[in-house]
Amino acid sequence: MRIFLSLTTMALSVAASMAQAGCADQEEACEIDGGTYHITLPDGAGDQTPAIMFIHGWGSSGQGVLRNTGMVNAAKAKGYAIIAPDGMPREGRDGRSWSFHPQLPNQREEVPFLTAVRDDAITKHSIDPDRMILAGFSIGGSMTSYLACAAPDSFTAYAPVGGGFWRPHPEGCAGPVKLLHTHGWTDGTVPLEGRVLRGDNLQDPAALAQGDIFHTMLLWRRVNGCENLRATEFDMGEDFWRRRWTKCSDDTALELALFPGGHRVPNGWATMAIDWFEGLPGS
């Protein structure tokens, strides 16, 4: 009897998790020109619901994002919807990916697609256009960073996790941002210093290499007009070690949050990111 109850509980848990994937109250993904996305809304959602649009990592999907119930439920508990766009299918492989690297062929123009997902969610699901965070994990974090750089006014704030720019780093961006970058101290998949994925070394003309997160933060300081190289505020919490640059241009925000761990979305990230967002001036 105990085994039966345990299996029943497990099945209901899996079913509940799977039920989150889809288009709000419908099982199928939301469809727009150019692709699909998933969305789950908080209980009692009405007009002007805030949201996190979360971009999945390499080989995953929007449905996979919604299976991270810890992150999803934490966001929904704070009244936020989670929007999870689908990358393009990988040829000959399962899962999906993003055309984010400026030197690689594009399967799709991702910035127009992601902003179209934004607009569709605003229109059809009453998402508040002034309270939308674009976030993502791994190459989803890279996609977040490149969109923030190319079209900074597209979302209210940006929160990449475990992924940033690739080499060669951008030389500049279109405008300032409100951005929180989160990264694992021992990340070996996307190390803080980056790594070479193709080619012998960085001097190889054919090298394909991840960027340096510290260089990325330097770029964001320049874009945001920060006065100092060093951070001005520090928060050494139990779960995250955070560095903030506050002497920057008006209506900007910049923070780096490190956590003890590797390549993952850390426990507590959604709560931390929403608290950061809601603590910004004017939020």
pLDDT score, position 20: 53
Handedness of CA 195, 199, 205, 208 (dihedral sign): negative
pLDDT tens digit sequence for 33-84: 999 999 999 998 889 999 999 999 999 999 999 999 999 999 999 999 999 9
Q: CB-based burial of residue 149 (10 Å sphere; 0-12 exposed, 13-18 middle, 19+ buried)?
A: buried
Whether residue 52 lies inside any domain: the answer is: yes
**Does 167 fall in a domain?**
yes
Query: Within a domain: residue 283?
Result: no
Answer whether residue 102 is part of any domain: yes
180 to 5, 130, 217, 245: CA distances (angstroms): 43, 17, 10, 11
Say if residues 128 and 121 touch (Cβ distance below 8 Å): no
156 in a domain, yes or no? yes
For 136-151, what is each residue's pLDDT tens digit? 999 999 999 999 999 9
Rg (the chain; Cα; Å): 19
The residue-averaged pLDDT of 190-207 equals 85
pTM score, two decimals? 0.91
Kindly state the average pLDDT of the residues 119-136. Answer: 98
Whose CA is closest to 172, among 144, 201, 143, 150?
150
Domain CATH number, residue 158: 3.40.50.1820
- Region of 92 (left: φ > 0; alpha: ψ -120 to 50; beta: rest) is left
Residue 69 lies in a domain: yes
Asked, for residue 24, whether it belongs to a domain, the answer is yes
Indicate the number of domains in the chain: 1
Domain that holds residue 25: 2-278
Domain membership of residue 90 (yes or no) is yes
What local confidence, expressed as pLDDT, does residue 101 receive?
85
